[in-house]
Structure 1
Amino acid sequence: MRLLLLFLPFVFTLSITSADDQADDPEAYMDAVYSSCNRPPIVFAHGFGGGSTMFMTNPPESSPAFILADAGFDVFLLNHRGTTYGRRHKFLKQWENKFWQYTVDDMSKYDSTAVIDKVLELTGNEGIYWIGLSQGTTMAYLTLADHPEYNSKIKVLFQTGPAGTAGYAQGPVKIALWAYKALKPVVDFYRIAIGSHEVAFQWPSVYRPLVRLCNIIPMAPQICNSAINLLMGPSTRTINMTRAPVYLAHTPSGTSTMSALHLAQMASRLKFEHMDHNPAENLRRYGQLTPPPYDFSNIDVPVYHIRGTADILASEEDVKNTESLLKKGVVKGSFRIEGYNHIDYSFATDCAEMVYNPITAIVRKQEPDMCQR
């Protein structure tokens, strides 16, 4: 497996790309990892349409990756296939349709496992800590549900903005889900006729002028902040809007239509299940006509759910639905942060105090000899 070194003190990225016909060959993917001292390794897994930069675009005191690096961790930032930093492939180019032939199943089966194994290999540790954000929480659950041998490789799951199936999400996502259900025959025809391609991609010619307007026109920052709150929830926390050009220089970061449709499928059915291709393809892949559910009874890793009260994408109902699927005693804590919306876990100026200092305190109880600040 090839390594590309990114020299950021104690913060390291690992990026994966894929194509459907290469998905079972981790050697086909180009990783980017750099490691140093023996600190507890912690992996950040980003949300839908995001990437590793979600955790490092603020000043160090309010960037999750640097907060935890300063606290004594080796921090690894996962970039799933299809993101801006996860597009290097040995055989395929990103403009080829095959490059985008992957679903959430592939991301959880191959990306997450490859990341975990590589981090353990590089650090020499027996287990990692995992911080998921939104889709990143789902990836961890699906990986452990289908590959229970990875329970022994993850010490704790810290699930921020745990959207679950997102079937109870509000705002524009609820409208999009309604449209998906209403137009399902059209969506299916489109998927067959066009195939999978990139969505949620960078469009600098559109994003950058809009960002400049947010910082130039009087009252524009408030309007831009209101737009964020419409999408993510009515936050009462502070986001540094002067950093908006940096945020939108990296976000959205890209994924495939098939992965987006897979998430929509789970949301519409309120079930964690494999991709529903069609009866014939399901029979070939799964040995049955319908997609099998993910077995959450296989999950043994201690879980902490961290959800903001203003988060309209990770609703209280979705969190309860996920927790009902987990075995009794797996969830060690379910915390609510007053006024946090779906991106405050990454971008709020007080995220160290509200999210990452408490996470560090929990880990220190298990790792009393970990590096000090």
Structure 2
Amino acid sequence: MLGNLRPIVRKLFRSLCIPGVNCYDLVIAITGKNCCLNASTVELVIDYETMSTSTMNLDHLAQMIRNGLVSKYDYENPFKNWKHYGQFSPPRYNMSNIPTDLPLFLSYGAYDALSAPTDVELLIADLKSHNKDKIEVQLVESYAHVDFILGVNANQTVYTHIIDFFNRH
């Protein structure tokens, strides 16, 4: 069923990209102001980044944004939560369960509308007890969401740093 939605979503995007409406503006509206896309990458976004996701995933994301907590899915029924978690409300994810010696590389963009910098900063704060030699954080001031995937300079800006990080660890 979800696989059948991809052509529908792509068709919707394409129908919105009529003369006078720039498809790049649609990408910006969803992902933030990307710095490093060209016309061909915008086409790739429309063709491949319009993948379907579960309604439950979107609901879960909205719950975490509304509550300001990184927690498991709230079934919004205490008895359903009890059935799934053994408690009436969903448990928070315990970031201290992440081994402190596990190498972590976090990269985020200042203009990302989907992985907002304030959210990433909350995650970084939750990881404050992590071994400082095993965690690296990269803020790319000019990047938004799609720049990490399709930015014309992503190889030099992000990927070489990731490879170097993994080679060190």
Contact 2:109/2:117 (8 A) holds in 1: no
d(CA) in 2 for partners of 1:227 and 1:208?
Answer: 10
Q: Which residue of 2 aligns with 1:228?
A: 27
Q: Given the alignment, which residue of 107, 113, 122 partners 1:321?
A: 122
Structure 1 spans left out of the alignment, 5+ residues: 1-81, 85-93, 95-199, 367-373
Instruction: Name the % identity.
Output: 26
Q: Which residue of 2 aligns with 1:241?
A: 39
d(CA) in 1 for partners of 2:71 and 2:120?
Answer: 17
Q: Which has the higher helix share?
A: 2
Structure 1 residue 207: Cα displacement: 2.9
Tell me the amino acid that sits aligned with residue 342 of structure 1.
Answer: H
Q: Which residue of 2 aligns with 1:356?
A: 159
Q: Would you say how many aligned residue pairs link Structure 1 and Structure 2?
A: 163
Q: Which residue of 1 aligns with 2:95?
A: 296
Q: Given the alignment, which residue of 249, 262, 270 partners 2:68?
A: 270
Contact 1:307/1:314 (8 A) holds in 2: yes
Q: Which structure is higher in RCO with an 8 Å CA cutoff and minimum separation 6?
A: 2
d(CA) in 2 for partners of 1:249 and 1:363?
Answer: 31
d(CA) in 1 for partners of 2:137 and 2:11?
Answer: 41
Tell me the amino acid that sits aligned with residue 68 of structure 2.
Answer: L
Deviations 1:262-315 (A, max 9, x none): 111111111111111111111112111111111111102222221112223333
Tell me the amino acid that sits aligned with residue 280 of structure 1.
Answer: F
d(CA) in 2 for partners of 1:248 and 1:314?
Answer: 19
Q: Which residue of 2 aligns with 1:335?
A: 138
Q: Given the alignment, which residue of 325, 344, 349 partners 2:147?
A: 344
- TM-score with structure 1 setting the length: 0.40
Corresponding residue SS for 2:111: coil
Q: Which residue of 2 aligns with 1:279?
A: 78
Tell me the amino acid that sits aligned with residue 314 of structure 1.
Answer: S
- The change in CA–CA distance for 1:245 and 1:335 in structure 2 (over 3 A counts) is closer
d(CA) in 2 for partners of 1:261 and 1:280?
Answer: 19
Contact 1:233/1:341 (8 A) holds in 2: yes
d(CA) in 2 for partners of 1:304 and 1:325?
Answer: 15
Tell me the amino acid that sits aligned with residue 114 of structure 2.
Answer: L
- The change in CA–CA distance for 1:206 and 1:228 in structure 2 (over 3 A counts) is closer
Deviations 1:220-242 (A, max 9, x none): 5xx3223322322223x221213
d(CA) in 2 for partners of 1:282 and 1:201?
Answer: 32
- TM-score with structure 2 setting the length: 0.81
Corresponding residue SS for 1:255: coil
Contact 2:106/2:138 (8 A) holds in 1: yes
d(CA) in 2 for partners of 1:308 and 1:298?
Answer: 26
d(CA) in 2 for partners of 1:254 and 1:349?
Answer: 25
d(CA) in 2 for partners of 1:265 and 1:362?
Answer: 33
- The change in CA–CA distance for 1:232 and 1:271 in structure 2 (over 3 A counts) is same
**CA RMSD of the aligned region, Å?**
2.5
- The change in CA–CA distance for 1:261 and 1:330 in structure 2 (over 3 A counts) is farther
Q: How does 1:51-130 map to 2 (within 5 A)?
A: 84=3
Q: Which residue of 2 aligns with 1:208?
A: 14
- The change in CA–CA distance for 1:264 and 1:287 in structure 2 (over 3 A counts) is same
Corresponding residue SS for 2:136: strand
